[in-house]
Structure 1
Amino acid sequence: MKGFVEMLHKAGWDAYVDWMDYEMPARPNRRTAENIQKRIRESTFFMFLATQNSMASRCYP
């Protein structure tokens, strides 16, 4: 995943990755979902990479 993000940055793209965001809470909660939704709304493009971890991840309010 980090290699893909580095590739995007080298190509001039700004990539947001939730687990690289130091402002995210340690445990997923409602704020986690709100932060991700805000980032999606602010983005020109949205891409979701479905990894084993991302598919198993859940945000509980």
Structure 2
Amino acid sequence: MADAIEKAMKNAKASLEISGFKVTEENTELVRKALMKEMTNEEFLKEAKRLAQVKGGDSKC
């Protein structure tokens, strides 16, 4: 299963980058943890929101 997840993530990252999005290692690791069930959906959403706010310069978490 881990190999399938890694392959899917590489394909998704390539597609996003072709579309002009930048995928950081931090983003990649967050998605990997969620897909491997190392965190809950709630934890994933909270961390994704935090990362988006940090990137956007919004200090409200």
Q: TM-score range by the shorter chain?
A: 0.3 to 0.5
Q: Which has the higher contact order (CA 8 A, sep 6+)?
A: 1
TM-score (norm 1): 0.37
TM-score, normalised to structure 2, is: 0.37
Q: Per residue, is there more helix in 1 or in 2?
A: 2
